[in-house]
Structure 1
Amino acid sequence: MIRVQDLCKTVTSGAQELAILRGINLEIKAGESAAIIGVSGAGKSTLLGLLAGLDNASSGAVFLHGQNISVMTEDQRASLRAKHVGFVFQSFQLLPGLTALENVMLPLELSGRSGAAAKAKVFLDKVGLAERGHHYPRQLSGGEQQRVALARAFAVEPDILFADEPTGNLDEHTGQRIIELLFALNSESDTTLVLVTHELPLARRCERQFVMHDGVLSEEFDNDGVAKPIDSALDAL
C-alpha cells in the first residue's frame, strides 16, 4: 500500500543545505495503522506530506498503490489523492466561507462523485454533527471543527488516511474524543491509517510505531504482546 525507498528531503537556508529527512525506508501494508512519533522539528510532518504527495522529495521514491508518485506531476498526484487519500490536519483546514456540510461535500464534488450532499450528511451524522451542518467554522468549537475535518476525510472513502497531529490544537478531553472517533471510523472503513503525533497514548493505539529523530526513522516496534522497547525509546524523547 505504502512503500518508501531512500527518501531524502533537503532545503537551502542561506548558504547552507539543511537535511530534513535522511534516507527513509518504510513499508506499510493495506489496512494497517501506524504512528510516526518524535519531538517538534524531527521531520514527522515533512515525511507525512511526502507520503501524501503534498510535497516533492529531494531524492528517493514514494509508492502508493504500486505507483511511484515521486515522478508524477502535481495534477497526477492530485488525481491519485482524490481517488485514494484522505488527510486530517492539526489546524483543521476548513474553508471559512463554506458551512460544515459544504466543507464535507467539497472533496466529493471535486472528485466528481454523485450524491455529495447525501453522503456528506451521513458522515456528519457519524461524527455527531448532523444538526450543525448549516454552521460555518467560526460558529463551531475546535473539537467540532476537527470532527467536521474527520467527516470530510472519511466521506471520500479513502484507502489511506493521513493525520498530522490530529489532536494538537485540542484540550485533553476533546482530544480523547477525537481519537476514539478517528479509530472507530478507521475500523469501520478498513482504511490504512498513518498518523504523526508526539503523544505516546495516541501512538500506542496504532498497530505499528516508528520513531523519528533528526530526520532519521528508527527501528520499528509493534504491539503484538512481546516486550516493547518502544516504551523506553519514546519516553526518552
Structure 2
Amino acid sequence: MIKAENLQKRVAMAGRELEILKGINLEIKSGETVAVVGASGSGKSTLLGLLAGLDEASAGRVVIADTELGQLDEDGRAAFRADHIGFVFQSFQLLPALTALENVMLPLELKGRRDARQQAEHFLQRVELGPRLDHYPRQLSGGEQQRVAIARAFASEPKILFADEPTGNLDSRTGEHIINLLFELNREHGTTLVLVTHDLKLAQRCQRRVQLEDGAVLAE
C-alpha cells in the first residue's frame, strides 16, 4: 500500500517560496489502478515523483510497504526503488550510448538477473520494437523512445509502476496497445499502477481517479 500524509512541496523561485503541493493525503491499495488527473501545473508530476521517492517532500511523509521513504538516504531510496518500483518518465531518460536492448537490460543486470537479455527482448517485443533492438535512442522516434522506456519499466516486473503521461508521445493505435499492456501487467502480477495522464480513455480504465487542482486534491 502507498500512503501519503500531509504531503507538501515548496521550492524557492525568484526570491519567494512557491508552494507546489499543499498537504496531500492519499492512500492507494496494493494492486489498485489510479489515474492522477488535473490541469497542467496542478502538481501531478511533482506528486508522482514524491510517491516514487525520486524527490524529497518539504513536509509530510510517504510510506510504501511499511517503509517511510523520508527516513531513507538517497542510496537507500534508490535501492528501495530497484526492489519495488518501476517508473516511466515523460522525458524517457534513456542512456544515449546504449541501444534499446541495452537500455532495458541495464537495470536488470544491476539487479543480478541472469535472464536480463531474454527478459529485455521479451518486453521490447511486447511493445512492438523487436526489429529495433540494436538502435540507439537518436535513431528512434519520440514514440519509439517512449516504448523503450515503458519496456524498461515493465521488464523488472515491479510491485508498483508509476507512469508520467505514458501515452503522451504515442499515436492512437500504439497508445491503445500500451494501455492494454499496462492493465495486463496489473492483472498478471497484481502490479499497483499510478498514472499521471491527460488521456481520458486511459483515466477511465483505472479503478479510481484523483484530481489535483492548484496543488491540492480536488476530488477522488
TM-score band, normalised by shorter chain: over 0.9
User: Is the 8 Å Cα contact of residues 23 and 216 (structure 1) preserved in structure 2?
Assistant: yes
Q: Letter of the 1:203 partner, please give it.
A: A
Q: Kindly indicate whether residue 68 of structure 2 is the aligned counterpart of residue 68 of structure 1.
A: yes
- What is the 5 A alignment of 1:82-121? 82-121=82-121
Question: Residue 11 of structure 2 aligns to which amino acid in structure 1?
Answer: V
Give the length in aligned residue pairs: 220
Determine if the alignment matches structure 1 residue 136 to structure 2 residue 136: yes
With 87-96 and 99-108 compared, the bigger mean Cα shift is at: 87-96
Q: Which whole-Å CA distance do the structure 1 matches of 2:6 and 2:171 have between them?
A: 37
Aligned to 1:231: none
1:37–1:199 Cα contact (<8 Å) kept: no
Report the CA distance shift for 1:147/1:186 in structure 2 as closer, same or farther (over 3 A): farther
Are positions 1:149 and 2:138 aligned together?
no
Amino acid at match of 2:112: G
**What is the CA deviation profile of residues 55-107 of structure 1, one whole-angstrom value per residue up to 9, with x for unaligned ones?**
00000000111100012100000000000100011222211111111011011
**Which SS does the other structure have where 2:41 is aligned?**
coil
Which amino acid in 2 is paired with 1:143?
A: G
Are the aligned partners of 2:34 and 2:208 in contact in 1 as well (CA < 8 Å)?
yes
Asked if 1:19 is matched to 2:19, the reply is yes
Local SS of the residue matching 1:8 = strand
Give, in whole Å, the separation in 2 of the partners of 1:183 and 1:89: 18
**Higher mean displacement: 31-40 or 178-187:** 178-187
Distance 2:171 2:119 in 1: 29
Q: State the percentage of identical aligned residues.
A: 64
Distance 2:161 2:78 in 1: 15
Preserved contact between residue 150 and residue 166 of structure 2 (Cα < 8 Å):
no
User: Are the aligned partners of 1:146 and 1:178 in contact in 2 as well (CA < 8 Å)?
Assistant: no
**What amino acid is aligned across from residue 177 of structure 1 in structure 2?**
H
Displacement of 1:116 in angstroms is 1.2
- Which secondary structure does the structure 2 equivalent of 1:218 belong to? strand
* TM-score normalized with structure 2 length: 0.94
